[in-house]
């Protein structure tokens, strides 16, 4: 039973880490977009560099989301195994009801936000590149 409690606590901790990582990446991306907008009139090359840095940042963010998704999936798989020995498999029941609701999981939503930032950076690069090649 103590192992089960430790595993559930560690799953909660992973969720907290994931949220902290998301907050970090949202802050970095928001700052890069604002910086790109602010520097728009100074140098198109700077905008391209910021766009490339932003694309790299969103790629790392996307990979971080996938990492936490896989880690939580593994943890809840072990929790499900341990719950077979308990009178009520609470996480299994919750998951079954959640699936019936036909809702998107948080990691799916988070990954789409990182993709939207990636699209914004591609647009930033295109706009700044166009400014370089057009007279």
CA distances from 119 to 29, 43, 55, 77 (A): 12, 21, 8, 34
Asked whether 36 and 53 are in contact (CB, 8 A), the reply is no
Question: pLDDT class for 17, splitting at 50, 70, 90?
Answer: very high
Q: Tokens 């079954």 identify what position? A: 96
In this prediction, residue 81 carries a pLDDT of 87
Q: 103: left (phi > 0), else alpha (psi -120 to 50), else beta? A: beta
DSSP codes joined into one string, 26-43: HHHHHHHHHHHHHGGGT-
The tens digit of pLDDT for each residue in 35-68 reads 888 887 788 888 899 999 999 999 999 999 999 9
In this prediction, residue 50 carries a pLDDT of 93
Q: 111: closest CA among 66, 76, 78, 79?
A: 66
User: Around Cβ 55, how many Cβ atoms within 10 Å?
Assistant: 19
Average pLDDT for the chain: 88
SS3 assignment, position 1: coil
pTM greater than 0.85 (yes/no): no
Whether 135 shows a pLDDT value over 70: the answer reads no
Mean pLDDT of 3-9: 82
């Amino acid at each position: 039973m103590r192992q089960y409690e430790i595993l559930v606590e560690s799953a909660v901790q992973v969720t907290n880490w994931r949220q902290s990582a998301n907050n970090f990446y949202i802050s970095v991306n928001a700052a890069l977009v604002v910086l790109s907008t602010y520097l728009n009139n100074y140098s198109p090359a700077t905008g391209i560099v910021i766009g490339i840095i932003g694309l790299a940042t969103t790629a790392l963010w996307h990979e971080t989301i996938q990492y936490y998704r896989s880690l939580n999936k593994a943890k809840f798989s072990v929790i499900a195994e341990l719950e077979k020995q308990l009178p009520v498999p609470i996480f299994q029941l919750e998951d079954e009801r959640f699936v019936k609701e036909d809702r998107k999981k948080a990691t799916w939503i988070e990954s789409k936000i990182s993709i939207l930032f990636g699209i914004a950076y591609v647009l930033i690069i295109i706009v700044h590149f166009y400014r370089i090649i057009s007279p």
